[in-house]
Amino acid sequence: MTVTLAGCGVGTGSGDVTLKVVAANYDPNEGPSTKEYWDKLSAAFEAANPGIKVDVTVYSWTVVDAKVAAMVKAGNAPDIAQIGAYSDYAAQGKLYSADDLLSVPVQANFLSNLSDAGEQSRTQYGMPFVASTRLLFYNKKLFTDAGISKAPKTWDELRTDAGMLKQKGVTYPYALPLGAEEAQAETMQWLLSGGDGYTDSVGTYTIDSSPNIKTFSWLKDNLVGAGLTGPVAPGKLNRKAAYKAFIDGQVGMLNGHPTLVKQAEAKGIKVGMVPMPGSTGPTKATMGVADWIMGFKQNGHRAEIGKFLDDVFSDKNVLGFAGQYDLLPATVSASDAMATDPEHKDLKSFLNALATSQLPPVDKTSWPTVSDAIKKNIGKAVEPGKQPATILSQLQTTATAAQNAE
């Protein structure tokens, strides 16, 4: 009975346990709001669960993954980490599976595409904490001023609209951030819109596939080469700078995530949002992104970790965190609740897109290496004098070698 209950996340009651938790800071200004969220949640949990203490440390996104990696390497793993990737730790056998930790209703409540992305060898180790997806954002005023009456649905319409925006003097008709900050995300959205992606149905990298080469050739010739992506070369333009330019009213169109909506509207920008245009029509699937939470085996606190995570994934706590930062819940019940809440009406389009979104191959231990190579090199594929097929082939070589080393 003890084993069964422990597997369902029920505490053992075997004395005081302190759970060490490391989490990422979602505060846009690196302020204290994320720590305050965890402190409030932990205090309520401790009051309801005598004998379990929770000690949460919050780090900036720029260092949190490295902090956890250093702790694990030093033999001082936290009990719980809420960070950007889980695959290496799962492959090394350092994590409890979700089956080990969560009650059945909690585990079954994850959106299926997100829980699937948290699996290795059909076992879930990464638990999606919050999620986001991408839509094509457009500045309604700039569209009206340029005489554009509706959002584009195809690449050709996007190119035409970008040309009209340029004629009206818009600085970035389409902002294409292929700089090192998050080029892998912009790239994946375009690959999906061209009918392919990073991997095939069995998980083999297909970066230099014919559809992907066609996509980047179109980008190079029709947007970048036509001067429709603004004064900064895409390979030098980072997402943060592109988003700031959008908020400042200098961008006609870009791929945006949920938190950009209120930031733009706070500056008086009227935002339109539609699915990313595809080569012949709206893209069937958009890119999804999830941040992950995981439980480490080292300290042996399986039951206590599970009980705490069951509480973390309650609707109240999931909605509280996602709503605070304009992110998307990773659970079905919280997503349904958010979709019907007028306060979050701006997120409904993102919620609809998330259910069928495709995530990068985050289950692969090779993905960090491949993602890093994409960030550093994909911008070259649209540079003058460069051939997209050559750059994608070089990235494919890197990906194949990394996958073979898994």
Query: What pLDDT sits at residue 282?
Result: 85
Query: What pLDDT sits at residue 15?
Result: 57
**Higher model confidence: residue 399 or residue 10?**
399
Query: What pLDDT sits at residue 6?
Result: 32
d(CA 221, CA 198): 22
- pLDDT tens per residue across span 259-294: 899 899 999 999 999 999 999 988 888 999 999 999
Domain definitions of the chain by residue range: 2-132+289-354, 135-286+366-404
Q: Which is it for strands 172-174 and 17-24: parallel, antiparallel or unpaired?
A: unpaired
Query: What pLDDT sits at residue 356?
Result: 86
Query: CB neighbours of 260 closer than 8 A, spacing ≥ 6?
Result: 137, 243, 246, 247, 271
d(CA 81, CA 293): 6
Query: What pLDDT sits at residue 62?
Result: 87
**Which is nearest to 110 in space by CA: 132, 127, 135, 93?**
127
- pLDDT tens per residue across span 354-404: 988 999 999 999 999 999 999 999 999 999 999 999 999 999 999 999 999
Q: Domain spanning 2-132+289-354: which superfamily?
A: Periplasmic binding protein-like II (3.40.190.10)
Query: What pLDDT sits at residue 3?
Result: 32
3-class secondary-structure state, position 41: helix
Average pLDDT of 204-226? Answer: 98
Average pLDDT of 316-342? Answer: 96
Cα 319 to the center of its chain, rounded Å: 17
Query: CB neighbours of 102 closer than 8 A, spacing ≥ 6?
Result: 8, 9, 127, 306, 309, 310, 313
Total Cβ atoms within 10 A of residue 314: 16
Beta bridge partners of 172: 251
Query: What pLDDT sits at residue 1?
Result: 26
90 falls in which pLDDT band (50, 70, 90)?
Answer: very high
Q: Examine the pLDDT at 4 and tell me if it is beyond 50.
A: no
**Higher model confidence: residue 226 or residue 4?**
226
d(CA 403, CA 394): 14
Task: Give CA torsion, residues 128, 285, 353, 171, to 10 deg.
Answer: 110
Query: What pLDDT sits at residue 2?
Result: 31
Instruction: Give CATH for domain 135-286+366-404.
Output: 3.40.190.10
Q: Examine the pLDDT at 14 and tell me if it is beyond 50.
A: no
pLDDT above 70 coverage of the chain, percent: 96
- pLDDT tens per residue across span 120-151: 999 999 999 999 999 999 999 999 999 999 99
pTM here? Answer: 0.89
7 falls in which pLDDT band (50, 70, 90)?
Answer: very low
Query: What pLDDT sits at residue 112?
Result: 96
* Mean pLDDT of all residues belonging to the chain: 94
Query: What pLDDT sits at residue 316?
Result: 98
